[in-house]
Amino acid sequence: MLKTFSATKNFKYCAILSVLLVAAGLVALLAAPFGVNLFNLDIDFAGGTSFTYQLNEEVTPDVIDKVEDSVADVAGKTVSAVPTGDGTQVLIKTKNLSSEDREKLHEAMKTTFSLEDDARQDVQNVIRRRWPMVKLLLAPVSVQGIEAERSITEGIRRLDRDPRPDLILVTRGGGSKEDLWVFNAERIARAAAACRKPVVSAVGHEIDTSILDYVADLRAPTPSAAAELCVPDQSDVRQKIFILQQNIQKNIQNRCKLCYNRFDQLATAQLLQRQHQQLARRERELAGLQAAVQQAAQHRMQDAQRTLQHAASVAQSLSPYAVLARGYTLTERNGVPCSVEALHPGEAVTLRGAKAAAECRIEAVHNLEKQTGE
């Protein structure tokens, strides 16, 4: 069975409890400025100062003890250090420190761990290593104190008006939240937002954020990282140039090969065309010669035919058979042609005509020359 608690019926007890809690809170608040933390509250509730440092080694328990010992003289025994970030950063939480004590703590950390907090030097080293052709235009400003806000604002505007820089890098080394609080100023944010040139913000370490980081075109976790983002790496550029050079050479070689093949094809086509033209000319010459030979052969044949016909005509005219055909006869004796002068009376002869032959006997032979002479 559930029992309910009535605040109205137990008003006396509730009022006493509330008064005790308020009184305890007031006592704790009054004791905090004197360094007394009655409830062991964290810095976010009890108030205090925090610092973030980038070390050159991994943050181990021994390193934590070394950090606390090095700043104990400045921050007292209330200091606490914890690793943060990628394991090489340390977050130091102390009581509220004055500006002088913060500088002492910073110097103690620099001396103990050989730290270099010069953001300008970090940027210059990275740029000199990655892209030494870049020229830096510095606008030194005050990042702490009453004039820090105005100084940073004027520095941003002055670089924006200057035609020489391509971008504006706003950076400073790590420090406490109080040291970096000036970069949350509205004037600085408005000056960065109004810039015509790109603005890169690199304030403090990776865990430190400010309004300027949200207003800037690019935010970098550290000054060194900002320098790496602002300039290219010459080794990467050289590699890209080498690859482009190889691609250009390959393209040129392929183009030359293509042009050579094209030229070879054109040369082959022109050669074939010339050969075709020569063949066509030879064919025409051969056709002309063939026609001339045929014409000459025809003329020769006609001449031969005419000569043969003439010879046949002559032969025909000289042939004894043609004489016989005209009515003359051939006298043969014993199958041998003989002249009439050689005949003697009483001999048997044959008179051969063109179509018939007659057997005759010689009765007398008369000498016609003697009769003509008489």
- CATH no. for residue 172? 3.40.50
Asked if residue 211 belongs to a domain, the reply is yes
Choosing from 113, 146, 171, the residue where a domain stops is: 113
Asked if residue 314 belongs to a domain, the reply is no
Which residue stretches of the chain are H helix? 11-31, 43-46, 61-75, 99-113, 119-130, 148-161, 177-180, 186-193, 211-215, 223-230, 234-318, 320-325, 368-373
pLDDT for res 199:
95
Q: Report the number of distinct structural domains present in the chain.
A: 4
pLDDT for res 1:
46
Dihedral of CA 69/71/73/77: which sign? negative
Positions in the chain short of pLDDT 50: 1-2
Domain of 250?
A: 234-296
**Interatomic CA distance for residues 211 and 182, integer angstroms:** 10
- CATH no. for residue 55? 3.30.70
Asked if residue 28 belongs to a domain, the reply is no
93/134 same-domain check: no
Asked if residue 123 belongs to a domain, the reply is yes
242/342 same-domain check: no
- Residue (of 157, 166, 174) closest to 131 by Cα position: 166
Asked if residue 367 belongs to a domain, the reply is yes
213/154 same-domain check: yes
pLDDT for res 47:
56
Token match 């830096």: residue?
136
In this structure, are residues 224 and 121 in contact, taking their beta carbons and an 8 Å threshold? no
Strand ranges of the sheet holding 348-352, from the earlier edge strand across to the other edge: 336-337, 330-333, 348-352, 357-361
In this structure, are residues 52 and 90 in contact, taking their beta carbons and an 8 Å threshold? yes
**Interatomic CA distance for residues 354 and 330, integer angstroms:** 9
142/203 same-domain check: yes
Choosing from 97, 113, 129, the residue where a domain stops is: 113
CA-based end-to-end distance of the chain: 207
Residue type at position 200: V
126/207 same-domain check: yes
Choosing from 113, 141, 169, the residue where a domain stops is: 113
228/238 same-domain check: no
Asked if residue 102 belongs to a domain, the reply is yes
Asked if residue 10 belongs to a domain, the reply is no
Asked if residue 197 belongs to a domain, the reply is yes
227/129 same-domain check: yes
123/194 same-domain check: yes
109/127 same-domain check: no
In this structure, are residues 221 and 206 in contact, taking their beta carbons and an 8 Å threshold? yes
211/137 same-domain check: yes
202/265 same-domain check: no
129/219 same-domain check: yes
pLDDT for res 113:
74
- Residue (of 127, 92, 94) closest to 113 by Cα position: 92
